[in-house]
Amino acid sequence: MTRPSWDEYFIEITRAVAKRSTCNRAQVGAIIVKDKRILTTGYNGAPRGLPHCTDVGCEIVDGHCVRTLHAEQNAIIQAALHGVSVAGGTIYSTHQPCHVCAKMIINAGLVRVVYAGAYQDEIAMQYLRAAGVQVERFEQGAAS
């Protein structure tokens, strides 16, 4: 039996969280961790009380579904809603954050992003690097 690294463990949890997604286009999950403890989780879905994509379909504008909040946004919002400080923490995501999520990650005080899937938003990467946020693409088998 091989014990998973912390990054592998937390990425696997983001994949489970993503299964709660209510957008038909992509299932994305995110968790915020500090001191090896999960603080919040988030998945992409409609705002509370509004219809989900799975119920009424996606609302597409410029090739993106605007009905849903992103997983990273929901994880950060859950922290704010419940009074949990995420400053100094790490956000794990099944996908690379977009530029809007990158700005939220920066302002939330998160210091590290670990993502598994490919999503190309170079602007997001520029913002995160400029703000000094450590960004790593998770690769299976990498030690951490």
Helices 99-107 & 122-130 angle (0-180, nearest 10): 20
Give residue 144's pLDDT.
46
The model carries a pTM of: 0.93
d(CA 73, CA 100): 9
Give the contacts of 134 (CB within 8 A, at least 6 positions apart): 111, 112, 113
35-93 pLDDT per residue, tens: 999 999 999 999 999 999 999 999 999 988 999 999 999 999 999 999 999 999 999 99
Kindly state the average pLDDT of the residues 100-121: 94
Burial (0-12, 13-18, 19+ Cβ within 10 Å), 75: buried
Active-site pick, 72, 122, 136, 139? 72
Active site residue 139: no
